[in-house]
Amino acid sequence: MPASLARLSVPPTARRSLNRCNLPTEALGSFAFQLTPCALSLDGVLPLHQPLFDRLDTLDSAPERTCVFRTYMNAHFMLDDAPALGLSENVRLDRSRMDYLRLLRGWLFDSEGREGAILKAWVESRFGLLTRYHRGPLGAEDSAGRSGFEQEVSAGLYSTAGLEAQVDLLYSWTQYELARRLHGRTHLQLYRGCSDPRALREMHALDDGRRVVELNNLSSFSANAERADEFGDRVFSCATPMPKILAFSGLMPGLLQGENEYLVIGGIAAITIEY
């Protein structure tokens, strides 16, 4: 494989110059990252929440770790105490209820809804990968599509309990759990169904038949090809770097009802069209 292809990354128009993790956007969004991923960490998360991970280290049971994580999230972000956040219990819409679990459930129900917009904007902020598709292609910063997207995100984040910080910790816990449950693995073979070709930007064709594409900054994949077939007339597979997984339905059994669904952070990737 030519070195120039390995260095291929998302174009400058699809990334920010700054992000909030340990790798620049050009590196984490590159084809080279898919081939040889490394751990991604978000600024300030582990130093602030180290006691949580120290406690998780002592537990061998995944359900027990889930219980400890949820209890910690409720306590740290005061998710069960709206008045402590300065929010009235008498308002028509209690924005404090828009927490990380509601975000995930909203995404699993409709990734093109408000919750999906918030999560895609979170990826922009933390990893520097811009949203390329939300209900349709998003244009430049001054385009109507981009303006509408940003307005939807702002409305969704208004008066919430540190929602983006909740997702920071969710991502870090997901990475912790993947390392515990799948020790030594670097990739997962995942599948995605796609109907709109505009959501997938092809950049190169490899000799082995795979296609190098630019994925949207956040997409749903499945561990099951038949399940992926329900969401599009074209199904492709991808060796997905585990550091690119934001969350997955098996993370909290009984709370997230997706069928083997994974939320995957984007960038350049080689895919195989299954059918």
Q: What percent of the chain has pLDDT over 70?
A: 90
The reply to whether the predicted model has a pTM over 0.85 is: yes
Provide the pLDDT for residue 82: 58
One-letter amino acid at 16 equals R
Question: Each residue of 87-110: pLDDT tens digit?
Answer: 555 544 454 468 999 999 999 889
For residue 234, the cross-strand partners are: 194
How far apart (Å, rounded) are the C-alpha atoms in residues 148 and 145?
5
Provide the pLDDT for residue 89: 55
> In whole angstroms, how large is the CA radius of gyration of the chain?
19
With a cut of 70, say whether residue 197 has pLDDT above it: no
Provide the pLDDT for residue 93: 47
Residue 116: C-alpha distances to residues 26, 42, 106, 107, 110 (Å): 23, 20, 7, 5, 7
Task: Indicate the domain borders of the chain.
Answer: 1-275
Which of residues 227 and 173 earns the better pLDDT score?
173
> Which of 17-26, 105-114, 120-129, 261-270 has the lowest average pLDDT?
105-114
Provide the pLDDT for residue 226: 86
Question: Each residue of 3-48: pLDDT tens digit?
Answer: 778 889 999 999 999 999 999 999 999 999 999 999 999 999 999 9
